[in-house]
């Protein structure tokens, strides 16, 4: 009797996990060592309800180069960078900007962070590092193409 109960229960859990996995995609981005750059300037993924992003700062420990990653709404880059400059690169002041979908914590060399977000629809979502000068002067940015 107990075995008959557990088998359907396990099937339900397996189906729930499979449905959740079908609605989620996980990607990984990192920095290019000590360069002020992401390892990929463009990433294409299929549209899912939830996207998990693992971000790794691969700068050398002695470089002391901090990085973060922000995923923006389409066409929000200029507005976010203007607001960032206006607030002297104070991340706390812009973290709730309407153009930002999600932002990681600032990572020291060797650290990683996992962020999740839900794009509203397929499209081109910019990602950039919001550390002073990284995206606006040195071009540390890329495009996440969320396709149908």
Domain map of the chain by residue range?
24-147
Residue 21 is predicted with a pLDDT of 52
Enter the pTM of the model. Answer: 0.83
Q: For 5-27, what is the mean pLDDT?
A: 53
- The mean per-residue pLDDT over the stretch 135-142 comes to 96
Q: How many Cβ atoms are within 10 Å of 51's Cβ, its own excluded?
A: 22
| Residue 11, pLDDT score | 40
43-65 pLDDT per residue, tens: 999 998 899 999 999 999 999 99
Name the pLDDT band for 19 (thresholds 50, 70, 90): very low
In the CATH hierarchy, which top-level class contains the domain 24-147?
Answer: mainly beta
Cα–Cα separations (whole angstroms), residue 90 to 30, 45, 140, 147: 23, 31, 18, 33
């Amino acid at each position: 009797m107990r075995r008959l109960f557990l088998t359907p229960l396990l099937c339900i859990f397996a189906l729930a996990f499979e449905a959740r996995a079908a609605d989620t995609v996980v990607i990984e981005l990192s920095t290019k060592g000590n360069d002020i750059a992401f390892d990929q300037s463009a990433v294409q993924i299929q549209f899912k309800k939830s996207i998990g992003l693992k971000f790794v700062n691969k700068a050398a420990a002695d470089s002391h180069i901090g990085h973060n990653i922000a995923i923006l709404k389409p066409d929000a880059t200029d507005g976010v960078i203007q607001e960032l400059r206006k607030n002297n690169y104070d991340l706390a002041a812009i973290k709730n900007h309407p153009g930002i979908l999600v932002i990681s914590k600032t990572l020291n060399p060797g650290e990683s962070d996992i962020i999740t977000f839900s794009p509203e629809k397929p499209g081109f979502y910019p990602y950039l590092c919001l550390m002073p000068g990284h995206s606006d002067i040195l071009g540390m940015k890329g495009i996440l193409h969320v396709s149908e």
